[in-house]
Amino acid sequence: MLRAQALALTYGKIIHATGYMNADGTCQRWRVNGMVKTWKRDANRFEIPLKHGLRTYGYLNQDNMGAFHLAEECENQS
């Protein structure tokens, strides 16, 4: 995922985790769970809250954005 794509994400948007599969062979789906947070001091830094399933939460940031891709770009869709 590119930085520009990540910063354009809105609440409720579905993204897929690269390399992590569900039992049926589809990619894991993560949902954007809040607003994009950016820093003034470090222009490259951003953070987007994510949710997966019922109890799993995480963040999409500049360090792990390569581990996600947009749902529209997924090659494992069923």
CB of 16 within 8 A of CB of 32?
A: no
Please write the tens of the pLDDT for every residue from 46-63.
Answer: 999 999 999 999 999 999
**Domains of the chain, first to last:** 3-73 (2.30.30)
pTM: 0.86
- On the question of pLDDT at 18 being above 60, the answer is yes
Secondary structure, 3-state, the chain: CCHHHHHCCCCCCEEEEEEEECCCCCEEEEEECCCCEECCCCCCCEEEEEEECCCEEEEEECCCHHHEEEHHHCCCCC
